[in-house]
Structure 1
Amino acid sequence: MHWPQCNGRPIALFLDFDGTLADLAAQPQDVRIEPGLVELLGRLHEQLDGALAIVTGRPVDDIDHFLAPLRLPVAGIHGAQGRQPDGRRWQLAAPALAPVEAAARALQAEHPGLQLERKAVALALHYRHAPEAADACRQRLAELVAAQPGLELLHGKCVFEVKPAGVHKGHAIERFLAERPFAGREPAFAGDDLTDEAGFETVLRLGGQACKVGEGPSCAPRRLAGPAELHQALAQWSRHLAGRTEGSAA
């Protein structure tokens, strides 16, 4: 499948990380980067004149670690922090997460398979290894978020995340599109999770392209089976861009 499609306007490419560029792993730190992916992203970044960004639930520093030595524009923690193409960084003020963290640790004591991930301005509770705890986690975290203004509960693949209210990947994409080199381009976003739906809705509203990676319901009109198929599509697109550049030069 050809994705993104070239419809006349130059593309601004936005990519989720876990489950999209990289297969999900049992532990977040165990994600494996396929050979050639960093080089492919670097080549596309150059071919798009810098209009390629990672839009992820992970912190920016995680992405820099996995994609080293490449340093792309990144929106981390769903847009609560990020780095612009010129290196400028942003980060929202951290909300009051102490009560949520205390509750999450209490849940961990009851269900040892739970994994707590503390981010700069958010908190994620992974239940992949304790699926029986999902309902208890959802109920307890929802109670705390309802009692604490400024917080929002987000449900992803085997994870509940408490983050600043109103922060989502759609806003992060719009933030990039407001500045060069993204401004004026057609946005294209690929993601795999419920947390990516806000990004899909945003790019579709702006006349762009949305691609769901993997299974599950989605508003995205395009679909790829998994990260390997996305890599193939991006490599094919990169070859197309290279050929078009050579044709123009000729």
Structure 2
Amino acid sequence: MHTSGKTSPDLSAPPLLDARDALFLDFDGTLTEIAPRPELVYIEPTLTDLIEGAQRLVGGAVAVVSGRPLKEIDHFLMPLQLPGAGQHGAELRMHGNATPQRRVWPGVAAAAFDLRGRFGGDGALIVEQKGAAVAVHYRAAPERADECIAVARAVAEAHGLDVLVGKMVVETRPRGLHKGLAVDALLSRPLFRGRRPVFIGDDTTDEDGFDEAASRGGYGIKVGDGETRARYRLESVAAVHEWLQDSVRAGVRERA
């Protein structure tokens, strides 16, 4: 994980996507608004068309890089299946429609057991076992953030795991696992190799993706407010959709 300082919150809008780029997209808070429960996200009817347009623009080099398992992304974007990484890189799919490569780490199942024991009967909280990570969502009880984070840290320490705090969620996950490594792995594949990486995300978990994109000659785009190491900013999910649409239209005009 990179340790460079945060940039100023006052960032400019990004340039449009270029045919030479490889596009890496977070999901929640980037392509979709964050919902009260993870399964309740709303997918704009035009979203898959926007993603397919971006694929045509960059020769197919579009990937989703999310904390969610890839099967959940596939469900929401049906029938589209993108290359990408699920669970912050625990799952990798190097091209669309392929079976994801999965890794299993000891300690995660034990952490899930402990967290369910503490929070499983609590109607205000959600304990989500993702496979390679365990998340405690407190979207319905934001005032309990400190409690959830403290418990997750204690459980993670007991089982040799890391803790990552995001928007209304805290995750325990294997040490050394992050989105930057996922981007690095995808950039080694023929579909993405030699392209300029552009990573778009909204949360703490995306900072490593921003860093990796910058280190490979590309850049990050932060969605929403807050300090970040990304070079550019888009103010909302709607602005991401508009940027994708504008990029696709500009690409069509250039080919005409």
- Measure, in 1, the Cα distance between the counterparts of 2:83 and 2:214: 21
Secondary structure, aligned partner of 1:69? coil
Partner of 2:254: 244
Verify: 1:128 aligned to 2:163, yes or no. Answer: no
Q: Which of 25, 43, 50 is the aligned partner of 1:33?
A: 43
- Measure, in 1, the Cα distance between the counterparts of 2:172 and 2:58: 34
- Measure, in 2, the Cα distance between the counterparts of 1:231 and 1:177: 24
Q: Supply the AA of the counterpart residue of 2:100.
A: R
1:45-77: CA deviation from partner (whole Å, max 9, x where unpaired): 122111000010110001100001111112100
Q: Which of 188, 196, 204 is the aligned partner of 1:186?
A: 196
Q: Give the C-alpha shift of residue 183 in structure 1.
A: 0.2
Q: Supply the AA of the counterpart residue of 1:27.
A: R
TM-score, length of structure 2 as denominator length: 0.89
Q: Does the CA-based 8 Å contact 1:2-1:237 persist in structure 2?
A: no
Q: Supply the AA of the counterpart residue of 1:66.
A: F
Secondary structure, aligned partner of 1:40? helix
Number of residues paired by the alignment?
243
Secondary structure, aligned partner of 1:132? helix
Verify: 1:171 aligned to 2:192, yes or no. Answer: no
Partner of 1:103: 114
Structure of greater relative contact order (alpha carbons < 8 Å, 6+ residues apart): 2
Q: Give the C-alpha shift of residue 111 in structure 1.
A: 4.5
- Measure, in 2, the Cα distance between the counterparts of 1:148 and 1:90: 24
- Measure, in 1, the Cα distance between the counterparts of 2:204 and 2:151: 20
Q: Give the C-alpha shift of residue 140 in structure 1.
A: 1.9
Verify: 1:114 aligned to 2:116, yes or no. Answer: no
Q: Percent identity?
A: 40
Q: Supply the AA of the counterpart residue of 2:94.
A: Q
Partner of 1:160: 170
Secondary structure, aligned partner of 2:127? strand
1:203-246: CA deviation from partner (whole Å, max 9, x where unpaired): 11112021000111111121111110110011000111112222
Summarize the Cα distance change of 1:30–1:88 in structure 2 as closer, same or farther, 3 Å threshold: closer
Q: Supply the AA of the counterpart residue of 2:199.
A: F
Q: Does the CA-based 8 Å contact 2:125-2:138 persist in structure 1?
A: yes
Q: Give the C-alpha shift of residue 93 in structure 1.
A: 1.3
Verify: 1:76 aligned to 2:86, yes or no. Answer: yes
- Measure, in 2, the Cα distance between the counterparts of 1:141 and 1:233: 37
- Measure, in 2, the Cα distance between the counterparts of 1:160 and 1:113: 14
Partner of 1:228: 238
Q: Does the CA-based 8 Å contact 2:43-2:76 persist in structure 1?
A: yes
Verify: 1:217 aligned to 2:227, yes or no. Answer: yes
Q: Which of 206, 210, 213 is the aligned partner of 1:200?
A: 210
Secondary structure, aligned partner of 2:59? coil
In structure 2, runs of 5+ residues without a counterpart are: 1-12
Task: State the Cα RMSD in Å.
Answer: 1.7
Q: Does the CA-based 8 Å contact 2:22-2:198 persist in structure 1?
A: yes
Q: Does the CA-based 8 Å contact 1:112-1:130 persist in structure 2?
A: no
- Measure, in 1, the Cα distance between the counterparts of 2:14 and 2:219: 12
- Measure, in 1, the Cα distance between the counterparts of 2:17 and 2:48: 22
Q: Supply the AA of the counterpart residue of 2:133.
A: A
Secondary structure, aligned partner of 2:49? helix
